[in-house]
Amino acid sequence: MENVVECVNLTHYYGKRLIYENLNFVIKKGSIFGLLGKNGTGKTTTINILHGYLRPHSGHCYIFGEDSQHLSPQTKARMGFLMEGHIQYNFMTITQIEKFYSAFYPKWKKEAYYDLMEKLEVEPQQKLSTMSCGQRSQVALGLILAQDPDLMILDDYSMGLDAGYRRLFLDYLKEYAIGRGKTIFITSHIIQDLEGLVEDIVVLDYKGVLLTSTVKEFKANFKQFTFDLPEGHHVSLHKDDVIANFEIFKTRGIVYSFKTQDKVEEHLKKLNVPFKNIKQVPMTLEDAFIGLTGKY
Ligand SMILES: Nc1ncnc2c1ncn2[C@@H]1O[C@H](COP(=O)(O)OP(=O)(O)OP(=O)(O)O)[C@@H](O)[C@H]1O
């Protein structure tokens, strides 16, 4: 299967500050890929590298086989970007901006835009500058769907969108990508939205790349164990090969691990943790993401 995006040993610094080192991932044609991470971990940075706006410190990204630093106009025309919900030309109306954009895109699909705009409770003559943040995001999403790109890159598409519209847009996205050979790169802080949408993920942390996996494998292999602790007993844990993350409350502990329950129990015993009633608790993708990256 064709690799639409291939990033190889990508390393980036801003000044002396390392953002990540050796980020590697591949996005296959027709798949939906999610880049996840807390605020400021390097998601937008990666997108800026993908479209050649930013030169990485080292490493390469290839888009449809071309180095992202030297993309041909033909390849650029196959890519559609949404940058954190931003839309320029706020002085235009819904109708004017559609006409303006259509001139740049040979495959422009006006219906895809107006189909979404009909669901927006605003007059076609209303200027974008007078719309709410969520309404402007909806216009931006309509404009990107109308471009009909082969590779769609959505940076935080959900800015300001209400729950219903988010669901609607995700339905559109699935329909757009699945079975049509379209490829999607998405970042979002609403992790629950990505469950059931995204197949492969990379999770970034402040120290670099934390995980590269399929969502299926991550959810199958990453586990949460809860246990009781005796009152007044101080437990001090550290992250290690077995404990990927942990939380200790007064009489309750949580350990997140890629290991089996037997291994975790054995490990806790070795650390003299007086745990009782240990059990594995099912997690959503969002639970697993927070378990892996921590709450703060
Ligand atoms: N031009 C720049 N110069 C210096 N530092 C920068 C620059 N752009 C981004 N950074 C820093 O690099 C880090 C990564 O920023 P980036 O915008 O890629 O994060 P992000 O993962 O997209 O965050 P968010 O989820 O908040 O959108 C942040 O700490 C940010 O402050």
**The complex's ipTM?**
0.98
Same domain, 262 and 147: no
Rounded CA-CA distance 258/29 in Å is 29
What are the residues facing 248 on neighbouring strands? 253
Do residues 83 and 152 make contact, with C-beta atoms less than 8 angstroms apart?
A: no
What sign does the dihedral 15-19-22-27 (CA atoms) show? negative
DSSP H helices, the chain, are 43-50, 73-76, 94-102, 110-117, 133-147, 163-177, 191-194, 215-221, 261-270, 285-293
Q: What is the CB neighbour count within 10 angstroms for residue 122? A: 17
Counting beta carbons within 10 angstroms of the beta carbon of residue 233, is it exposed (0 to 12), middle (13 to 18) or buried (19 or more)? exposed
From the list 265, 224, 261, the residue with the least C-alpha distance to 246 is 224
Nearest CA to ligand 1 atom 27: 39
Q: How far is the CA of 40 from the centre of ligand 1 (A)?
A: 5
Rounded CA-CA distance 179/137 in Å is 26
Residues 6+ apart with CB under 8 A from 279: 225, 226, 227
Q: 3-class DSSP state for residue 32? A: strand
Same domain, 197 and 253: no
pLDDT value of residue 84: 64
Do residues 117 and 140 make contact, with C-beta atoms less than 8 angstroms apart?
A: no
Q: What type of residue sits at position 106? A: P
- Among residues 189, 217, 245, the one where a domain terminates is 217
pLDDT value of residue 85: 58
Same domain, 211 and 266: no
Same domain, 110 and 246: no
Task: Give, in order, the Cα–Cα distances in Å from 105 to each of 16, 46, 78, 95.
Answer: 40, 25, 10, 16
Whether the full predicted model's pTM is greater than 0.80, yes or no, is yes
Give the tokens for residue 151. Answer: 């590779």
Q: How far is the CA of 137 from the centre of ligand 1 (A)?
A: 21
Nearest CA to ligand 1 atom 23: 40
Task: Tell me which residues of the chain have a pLDDT lower than 70.
Answer: 1, 84-86
From the list 175, 177, 263, the residue with the least C-alpha distance to 225 is 263
CATH at 127: 3.40.50.300
Instruction: Report whether residue 43 contacts ligand 1, using a CB cutoff of 6 Å.
Output: yes
Same domain, 121 and 227: no
Same domain, 244 and 203: no
Q: Which domain holds residue 91?
A: 3-217
Same domain, 234 and 213: no
Instruction: Report whether residue 37 contacts ligand 1, using a CB cutoff of 6 Å.
Output: yes
Same domain, 213 and 236: no
- Among residues 160, 191, 217, the one where a domain terminates is 217
- Among residues 198, 217, 236, the one where a domain terminates is 217
Q: How far is the CA of 100 from the centre of ligand 1 (A)?
A: 31
Residues 6+ apart with CB under 8 A from 241: none
Q: 3-class DSSP state for residue 293? A: helix
Q: How far is the CA of 185 from the centre of ligand 1 (A)?
A: 18
Rounded CA-CA distance 81/266 in Å is 49
Do residues 193 and 166 make contact, with C-beta atoms less than 8 angstroms apart?
A: yes
Instruction: Report whether residue 41 contacts ligand 1, using a CB cutoff of 6 Å.
Output: yes
pLDDT value of residue 134: 84
Nearest CA to ligand 1 atom 2: 14
Same domain, 185 and 234: no
Same domain, 64 and 205: yes
Same domain, 202 and 271: no
Same domain, 140 and 278: no
pLDDT value of residue 50: 95
Domain total for the chain? 2
